[in-house]
Amino acid sequence: MTTYDLALIGFGGVNRTLAEIVHDRGEALRAELGFGLRIVAITDLRLGSLMKAEGIDLAMALHLGHGETFADHGGSKDTNNESVIRNCTADIVCEATFTNPEDGEPAVSHVRWALESGKSVCTTNKGPVALRGPELEKLAEENGVRFEFEGAVMSGTPVIRLAKQMFAGLAINGFEGILNGTSNYVLGRMEAGLDLASAISEAQELGYAEANPSADIEGYDVQLKVLILANELLGAGITLQDVSREGLSSVSSADIEKAPAQGMRWKLIGSARKKSDGTVTASVKPVALPMDHGLAGISGATNAVSFGTDLLGPVTVSGPGAGRVETAYALLSDIIAIHAAKKVPSHA
């Protein structure tokens, strides 16, 4: 039976959870999916790096003692990602590190090194997809491997693959969605009377908010997600500057609080529309939706996106948009997609 060897780049919440899934459910997944998974390399800024072609002991990696690093287990204190990515024996590189929204680094380089060395990639990082998507997809094609990124938008809720694969034969003429859980949670709490700062700190305590919550609140996170969906699903060929952005600071707390009495509810909406000449307009902005609008009832940290299609009309998908388990599942779904594409070399 096929086994895919994985390299985990970054060993924070998401890749650690993927390792837990492999450790706890590997046998069940093998029976269900028809392939096995083995982790042969891990790198992490804090823990260093470890490569083992015969498979890393996951019980060890998941339960390092206080102050221990991979150097205590045959690895190194250094995190030379380029060397590990290029030289490890992995078939698939699972990239879940920090990404800088300005240039997508260091994640863009991680993806590039992997593809160049003939390894498929799955990533949960928005940066490489939003800022370098077409270039990296071309690189994957040239190297006969796959570049998958379901987790870049709405975590494991399968919006990208759903639209790419299951909407075959339909023309998608646009989409509108709630693509950031933190801002949606914050709007709900402000509607209930909380001030912005208190609502943000609640979201931070619940683990939804980015380290810098202005990425959530001021629409930068949604701007990247709209760019990804517009380019990947509408073939827009646009850049970040083409997605206009307004955040929650353009609406007053009083407006948010009193909207329900007027039959409305404020939502941070990311949208894109294909015009009759084929060009695409895209934006992020707070919108007061009528209560009977399909997105008005999406509450808390839940995300939803409604695609406009020619033959089916609007098709709406709602589900989690963040969370370590939900995002780790996105990586698993990418691995399953890579297996289905049968494009990577595998170990018998």
Interacting positions 58-77 with ligand HSE (CB under 6 A): none
Quote the least distance from Cβ 179 to ligand HSE, whole Å: 7
Residue 210 contacts ligand HSE per CB under 6 A:
yes
Phi then psi dihedrals of residue 19, to 5 deg: -65, -40
Annotated catalytic residue: which of 225, 267, 274, 285? 225
Give the separation between CA 330 and CA 221, rounded to whole angstroms: 18
Instruction: Establish if 257 lies at the interface with ligand HSE (CB under 6 A).
Output: no
DSSP for 173-237 reads: EEEEEE--HHHHHHHHHHHTT--HHHHHHHHHHTT-S-SSTHHHHTSHHHHHHHHHHHHHHH---
Nearest distance from C-beta of residue 102 to ligand HSE, angstroms:
17
* Among 321, 326, 331, 336, contact with ligand HSE (rule: CB under 6 A): 321
Amino acid (one-letter) located at 62 = L
Q: Is 258 a catalytic residue?
A: no
Tell me phi and psi for residue 193, to 5 degrees: 110, -5
At residue 299, the 3 state secondary structure works out as coil
Task: Select from 10, 5, 74, 14 the least CA-distant residue to 40.
Answer: 5
- Give how far the C-alpha of residue 80 lies from the chain's centroid of Cα atoms, to the nearest Å: 24
Q: Which is nearer to ligand HSE, 234 or 322 (CB)?
A: 322
- The Cα-based distances of 139 to 24, 113, 135, 200, 231 in angstroms read 34, 10, 6, 39, 17
| Smallest separation (angstroms) from ligand HSE to the CB of 278 | 29
| Selected range binding ligand HSE among 48-56, 208-216, 228-236, 256-264, rule: CB under 6 A | 208-216
Interface region with ligand HSE, contact rule CB under 6 A, candidates 42-50, 207-215, 233-241, 276-284: 207-215
CB contact set of 17 (below 8 Å; sequence gap of 6+): 324, 325, 327, 328
Whole-number Cα distances in Å, 15 to 39, 123, 216, 239: 11, 10, 22, 29
Q: Pick the piece of the chain touching ligand HSE (CB under 6 A) from 107-115, 168-176, 205-213, 285-293.
A: 205-213
For position 150 contacting ligand HSE by CB under 6 A, the verdict is no
- In the complex, the smallest distance separating the C-beta of residue 208 from ligand HSE, rounded to whole angstroms, is 5
Q: Does 208 bind ligand HSE (CB under 6 A)?
A: yes
- Of 182 and 283, nearer to ligand HSE (C-beta) is 182
User: Binding mask 169-198 vs ligand HSE (x if CB under 6 A, - otherwise)?
Assistant: -----------xxx----------------
- Closest contact distance (angstroms) between CB of 321 and ligand HSE is 5
Shorter beta-carbon distance to ligand HSE: residue 44 or 216:
216
Helix (H, G, I), strand (E, B) or coil at 141: helix
Query: Which residue's CB is nearer to ligand HSE, number 176 or number 216?
Result: 216
CA distance 202 to 66: 29
Structure tokens at 145: 């491997």
Among 21, 217, 259, 322, binds ligand HSE (CB under 6 A): 322
Q: Applying CB under 6 A, does 326 fall inside the site for ligand HSE?
A: no
Distance CA 328, CA 184 (A): 22
- Token readout for 146 is 């796959």
Q: Which residue number, 49 or 182, has a Cβ lying nearer to ligand HSE?
A: 182
Active site residues: 225
Binding site for ligand HSE (CB under 6 A): 180-182, 208-210, 216, 221, 321-322
